[in-house]
């Protein structure tokens, strides 16, 4: 066993690190949000207690291996939704994307896509890329990015009007699905990985998942540093400042990307993602992009849990300079055996043409927390599974929506300040949308027989979970 493998083995054998807080996400508050849409893989923004949802799907996870694999236009979310949470109960408004003017035909198509890349910068919501069936019936990954003023959009939708002002650009620089978009204090946007899929999934499977004229899949294998600005005519101008390329570790999609506080300032952390070329499993080494530095892969740590895109909660402890990133459910290569206090790898059985078929990437109801110490000389990462699980197999392609009144460790971010949470139980936000899966036969828990991978019943979640943090003094 080489030294690197020995380090990972010993880390896996150690008991989980003690956390200074516990997370509880078991209470369903959906009744407080009547009329709120059931969506997954959407773009999200919020402004002064009003939530905005654009794109995504109104159906569950697409199947494969003989099941219905297509991302049909009929399954696309074709409404612009606003949920006003400033009143109790909340009130929901929506207008059809089809009501956007003909001059925004490209935006109409792209706003109905799934797996979009989005980021809220102040009052502006940016939406780029995504995959879906366009107005001509073709399945494409869109080379389109748009920007919309959230206060104005919210006012329009609440008045029953389509958004009146949308800036956009068409460029291959944003042609990605299942990646992420984030902005750093240096003023640049960072487009993180993803893939460009052209054609239908059925055609792709028909060619043994090899590229053909009918369907193709190309991973970006890049983190792109982009300048995105509006010109004097209200059009977006997108320019590539730098591309960081790695065809091994950057070959990821459907991953989790989040801001992280470091001694150098706010940076980007990349977690999980799928699929490794040879084994078709998840990636395990985090990637960090810090101000003034090149992206760095952490080969000294191996993430086991919650590798697929899911809701995540960010907490920072200024006193110990420690970052905590919690992942809710999703899809996981491992599960935590609380009784044995060990990580257990999910079974792999058969292939897509056989029954039973288990691909090793199982739906999860567990919550894991990565602890990354940032103090000088103590830069280490540990992984701990929270004692309370989710009330179902939830979290995949969902979002965590932090409450405005919870103190932030860094202004303008979703990074919560641990000091403001100490010594009490605090409602910090909600988990909204995503996929609810039913991966096991009766009694529909992990004691039941798992269904074949790719043929698990699922639906867009109608559960809206309250998230509480119980922090030590």
pLDDT classification of 63: cutoffs 50, 70, 90? confident
| Each residue's pLDDT tens digit, 119-162 | 999 999 999 999 999 999 999 999 999 999 999 999 999 999 99
CB atoms closer than 10 angstroms to residue 118: 21
> Is the pLDDT assigned to residue 232 strictly greater than 50?
yes
Assess if residue 194 is contained within a domain: yes
pLDDT classification of 377: cutoffs 50, 70, 90? low
| Each residue's pLDDT tens digit, 249-284 | 999 999 999 999 988 889 999 999 999 999 999 999
CA gap 168, 69 in Å, rounded: 30
Mean pLDDT along residues 55-71: 78
Q: What percent of the chain has pLDDT over 90?
A: 85
* Closest-CA residue to 95 (of 146, 163, 167, 46): 163
Assess if residue 2 is contained within a domain: no
Assess if residue 275 is contained within a domain: yes
| Structure confidence at residue 326 (pLDDT) | 98
Averaged pLDDT score across all residues of the chain: 93
Range of the domain at 375: 17-471
pLDDT classification of 292: cutoffs 50, 70, 90? confident
| Structure confidence at residue 16 (pLDDT) | 59
Assess if residue 11 is contained within a domain: no
Count of domains for the chain: 1
Assess if residue 6 is contained within a domain: no
pLDDT classification of 447: cutoffs 50, 70, 90? confident
Write the CATH number for 276.
Answer: 2.120.10
Mean pLDDT along residues 245-250: 98
pTM of the model: 0.94
> Is the pLDDT assigned to residue 3 strictly greater than 50?
no
Q: Who has greater pLDDT, 4 or 308?
A: 308
> Is the pLDDT assigned to residue 353 strictly greater than 90?
no
CA gap 412, 404 in Å, rounded: 10
> Is the pLDDT assigned to residue 50 strictly greater than 70?
yes
Which stretches does DSSP call E strand in 300-389? 311-317, 322-328, 331-332, 334-337, 342-345, 348-349, 358-359, 362-363, 367-373, 381-385
pLDDT classification of 66: cutoffs 50, 70, 90? very low
Assess if residue 3 is contained within a domain: no
> Is the pLDDT assigned to residue 80 strictly greater than 50?
yes
pLDDT classification of 208: cutoffs 50, 70, 90? confident
Assess if residue 454 is contained within a domain: yes
CB 439 within 8 A of CB 456: yes
Largest CA-CA distance found in the chain, in angstroms, rounded: 65
| Structure confidence at residue 445 (pLDDT) | 85
Q: What angle do CA 382, 326, 36 make, to 5 degrees?
A: 170
> Is the pLDDT assigned to residue 68 strictly greater than 90?
no
Using CB atoms within 10 Å of the CB of residue 423, give its burial: 0 to 12 exposed, 13 to 18 middle, 19+ buried.
exposed
| Structure confidence at residue 202 (pLDDT) | 87
Assess if residue 383 is contained within a domain: yes
Peptide bond before 223: cis, by omega within 30 degrees of 0? no
> Is the pLDDT assigned to residue 106 strictly greater than 70?
yes
> β-pairing, 415-417 with 311-317?
parallel
pLDDT classification of 14: cutoffs 50, 70, 90? very low
| Structure confidence at residue 168 (pLDDT) | 97
CB 458 within 8 A of CB 394: no
Q: Who has greater pLDDT, 400 or 455?
A: 400
């Amino acid at each position: 066993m080489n030294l690197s493998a020995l380090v990972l083995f010993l880390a896996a054998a150690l008991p989980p690190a003690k956390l200074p807080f516990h997370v509880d996400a078991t209470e369903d508050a959906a009744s407080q949000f009547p009329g709120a849409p059931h969506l997954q893989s959407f773009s999200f923004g919020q402004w002064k207690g009003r939530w905005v949802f654009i794109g995504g799907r109104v159906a569950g996870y697409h199947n494969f291996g003989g099941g219905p694999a297509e991302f049909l236009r009929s399954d696309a979310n074709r409404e612009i939704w606003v949920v006003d949470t400033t009143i109790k109960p909340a009130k929901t408004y929506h207008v059809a994307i089809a009501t956007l003017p003909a001059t925004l035909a490209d935006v109409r198509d792209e706003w109905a896509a799934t797996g979009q890349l989005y980021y809220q910068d102040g009052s502006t919501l940016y939406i780029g890329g995504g995959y879906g069936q366009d107005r001509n019936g073709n399945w494409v990954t869109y080379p389109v990015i748009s920007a919309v003023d959230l206060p104005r959009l919210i006012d329009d939708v609440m008045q029953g009007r389509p958004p009146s002002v949308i800036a956009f650009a068409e460029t291959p620089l944003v042609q990605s699905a299942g990646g992420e978009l984030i902005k750093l204090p240096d003023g640049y946007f960072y487009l993180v990985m993803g893939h460009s899929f052209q054609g239908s999934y059925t055609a792709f499977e028909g060619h043994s998942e090899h590229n053909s004229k009918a369907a193709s899949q190309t991973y970006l294998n890049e983190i792109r540093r982009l300048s995105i600005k509006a010109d004097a005519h209200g059009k977006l101008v997108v320019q590539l400042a730098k591309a960081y390329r790695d065809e091994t570790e950057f070959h990821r999609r459907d991953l989790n990307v989040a801001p992280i506080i470091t001694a150098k300032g706010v940076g980007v952390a990349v977690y999980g993602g799928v699929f490794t070329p040879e084994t078709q499993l998840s990636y395990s080494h985090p990637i960090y992009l810090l101000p003034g530095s090149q992206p760095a892969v952490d080969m000294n740590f191996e993430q086991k849990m919650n590798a697929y895109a899911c809701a995540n909660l960010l907490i920072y402890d200024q006193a110990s300079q420690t970052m905590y990133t919690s992942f809710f459910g999703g899809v996981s290569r491992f599960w935590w055996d609380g009784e044995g206090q060990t990580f257990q790898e999910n079974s792999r059985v058969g292939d897509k043409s056989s029954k039973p078929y288990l691909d090793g990437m199982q739906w999860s109801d567990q919550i894991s927390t990565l602890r990354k110490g940032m103090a000088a000389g103590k830069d280490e990462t540990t992984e701990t599974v929270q004692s309370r699980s989710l009330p179902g197999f939830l979290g995949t392609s969902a979002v965590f929506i932090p409450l405005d009144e919870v103190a932030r460790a860094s202004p303008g971010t979703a990074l919560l300040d641990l000091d403001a949470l100490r010594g009490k139980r605090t409602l910090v936000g909600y988990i909204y949308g995503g996929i609810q899966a039913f991966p096991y036969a009766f009694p529909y828990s992990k004691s039941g027989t798992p269904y074949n991978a790719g043929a698990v019943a699922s639906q867009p979640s109608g559960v809206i979970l309250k998230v509480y943090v119980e922090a030590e003094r």
